[in-house]
């Protein structure tokens, strides 16, 4: 149940995407997210969905695994879609009853938002699924390092991101264990009554927070003991180098943009 959450987890597989330089993947994801929110029109989305599917296929991550990761955000997608469906004003009314009016524009808007959110989650999870947290933060640090010159504490930021990513699976495991322990004591997490359901979260959340704080405290003490200083000028044993794969990724991005521009001009 709790293991369905795939955001921020790493999925090991022998694929070219896994072996790609993290910087390329981060930039690609950023580029993908921007594209997702600037493009308009049905055919552009068809192109984006198709290229996302191609990347998933290349990454050798099972589609089932990807879809499972979407489960926790279904509610968010549904609410967003519903809001857009009812709130969008338009000319072409297709349904109207009392205060509820559905317009054709509303339907388009709802579909667009739903697709955007789903693609956004898929796109970012491809990044984290194919990159281990240490490599990811390593890449992030290099990409952000120019900001150090103007005094932004990049090392601290990157360390925090790294620790956060590192702790997602640990805390999920912990949650899983706590849910099981409380289930065994007769806690009911499947009650239909929403108030009771929320109340049933308390026996999970409190031990989870307690353990998260304990872990954070332990880690802080351990780092302090080893004289960790975030601002130290340190080198890394990991060297990143752009290779053939990264060149292909760049080509892919160029072709992707050209196709989108062509669609925009032609249609």
- Contact region for other proteins (CB under 8 A) — 71-79, 103-111, 139-147, 169-177? 169-177
Subset of residues 4 to 43 that bind other proteins, contact rule: CB under 8 A: 9-14
Q: Which is nearer to other proteins, 64 or 226 (CB)?
A: 64
DSSP string, 189-217: S--S-HHHHHHTTHHHHHHHHHHHHHHHH
- Contact region for other proteins (CB under 8 A) — 95-103, 139-147, 177-185, 232-240? 177-185
Under the binding rule (CB under 8 A), the answer on residue 59 touching other proteins is no
DSSP one-letter code for 94: E
Under the binding rule (CB under 8 A), the answer on residue 206 touching other proteins is yes
Contact with other proteins (CB under 8 A) among 207, 240, 245, 253: 207
Q: Cα separations (Å) of 111 from 25, 50, 80, 119? A: 28, 17, 10, 12
According to DSSP, the β-strands at 93-97 and 100-103 are antiparallel
Q: Which is nearer to other proteins, 65 or 157 (CB)?
A: 65
Under the binding rule (CB under 8 A), the answer on residue 187 touching other proteins is yes
Report, in Å, the least distance between residue 51 CB and other proteins: 23
Contact with other proteins (CB under 8 A) among 34, 93, 156, 188: 188
DSSP string, 17-62: HHHS-HHHHHHHHHHHHHHHHH--SHHHHHHHHHHHHHHHHHHT--
Q: Which two tokens stand for residue 176?
A: 């899983």
């Amino acid at each position: 149940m709790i293991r369905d959450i795939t955001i921020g987890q790493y999925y090991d597989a022998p694929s070219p995407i896994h072996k790609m330089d993290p910087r390329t993947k981060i930039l690609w994801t950023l580029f993908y997210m921007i594209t997702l929110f600037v493009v308009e029109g049905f055919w552009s989305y068809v192109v984006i969905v198709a290229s996302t599917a191609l990347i998933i296929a290349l990454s050798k991550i099972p589609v089932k695994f990807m879809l499972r990761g979407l489960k926790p955000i279904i509610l968010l997608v549904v609410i967003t879609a519903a809001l857009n469906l009812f709130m969008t004003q338009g000319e072409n009314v297709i349904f109207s009853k009392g205060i509820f009016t559905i317009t054709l524009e509303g339907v388009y808007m709802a579909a667009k938002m739903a697709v955007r959110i789903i693609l956004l989650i898929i796109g970012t999870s491809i990044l984290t699924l194919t990159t281990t947290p240490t490599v990811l933060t390593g890449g992030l640090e290099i990409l952000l390092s120019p900001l150090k010159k103007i005094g932004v504490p990049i090392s601290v930021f990157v360390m925090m991101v790294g620790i956060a990513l590192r702790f997602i699976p640990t805390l999920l495991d912990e949650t899983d264990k706590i849910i099981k322990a409380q289930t065994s004591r007769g806690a009911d997490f499947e009650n239909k009554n929403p108030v009771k359901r929320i109340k049933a979260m308390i026996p999970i959340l409190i031990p989870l927070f307690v353990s998260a704080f304990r872990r954070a405290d332990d880690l802080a003490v351990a780092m302090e003991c080893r004289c960790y200083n975030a601002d130290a000028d340190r080198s890394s044993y990991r060297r990143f180098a752009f290779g053939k794969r990264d060149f292909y990724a760049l080509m892919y991005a160029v072709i992707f943009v050209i196709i989108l521009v062509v669609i925009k001009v032609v249609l």
